[in-house]
Amino acid sequence: MTPMGAEGIPPFHVHPGHAFEGFEVVERPGGAAVLLARCACGAVLDVADARFAVCPQCAGADPDCRRCAGAGRVVDHAALQWHPPD
């Protein structure tokens, strides 16, 4: 991975010719959550320890919030440090 800049975050890996499928938050034993970047082929591309921020739209006060679904937290993408899966 190559850093995007002095303050940047390294991007996650992609499979050439494959579409990016999306992200998945997985709770690990002990309560630590990780974020998985997935390829359309189903493979895990990279992993990051999940970092969350307070939902800027509702702060958890709205169970119907379109941003956090009432959880009160959203992924803090700027704080993620991606690395290859173990």
φ, ψ of residue 48 in degrees (nearest 5): -140, 140
Q: How far apart are CA 48 and CA 80, in angstroms?
A: 6
pLDDT of residue 32: 87
Contact between residue 24 and residue 45 where contact means Cβ atoms under 8 Å apart: no
Per-residue model confidence as pLDDT tens digits over 50-73: 999 999 999 999 999 999 999 999
Identity of the amino acid at 39:
C
pLDDT of residue 1: 38
Per-residue model confidence as pLDDT tens digits over 16-46: 888 888 899 998 888 789 999 999 999 999 9
Greatest CA span in the chain, whole angstroms? 42
Contact between residue 53 and residue 68 where contact means Cβ atoms under 8 Å apart: no
Question: How many Cβ atoms sit within 10 Å of the Cβ of residue 64?
Answer: 7
